[in-house]
Amino acid sequence: NAGVMQNPRHLVRRRGQEARLRCSPMKGHSHVYWYRQLPEEGLKFMVYLQKENIIDESGMPKERFSAEFPKEGPSILRIQQVVRGDSAAYFCASSPSGLPAYGYTFGSGTRLTVV
């Protein structure tokens, strides 16, 4: 059981480029959550997805950010036209269910640096 896999682990982008972050949930998990963590800060919820559906994107910035979780393949968090303020660690978590008794399993994160 490989756990939640995120890649790349580190990503450097110049301002204005696009960043694509990938997350493969644990086997059997169909619920994916994306979080952002700024240095020395806690986790900020971004988006919650199930296969082919966005359930809650209330934490996503209105522009430049999008997420998907297709029927086949990993979940993708896309940031277009990156700016320096997008530099952060982005964590993906998965769970087998959206029910509250389950906690999440986290990936190791993607550290995005915008130069």
Residues forming the site for other proteins (CB under 8 A): 4, 6, 31, 41-43, 45, 48, 55-56, 91, 93, 98-101, 103-109, 111
Q: Which of 106, 112, 115, 114 is nearest to 10 (CA)?
A: 112
The DSSP output letter for 25 is P
96: left (phi over 0), alpha (psi -120 to 50) or beta: alpha
**Please, what is the minimum distance in Å from the beta carbon of residue 48 to other proteins?**
7
For other proteins, the closer of residues 48 and 65 by Cβ is 48
Q: What share of the chain is helix, strand, coil (3-state, %, to 5)?
A: 5, 50, 50
Residue with Cβ nearer other proteins (13 or 31): 31
- What are 38's two structure tokens? 């700024």
Given the complex with other proteins, which of 17 and 108 has the nearer CB atom?
108
Min dist. Cβ of residue 4 to other proteins (A): 8
> What minimum distance in Å lies between the beta carbon of 89 and other proteins?
9
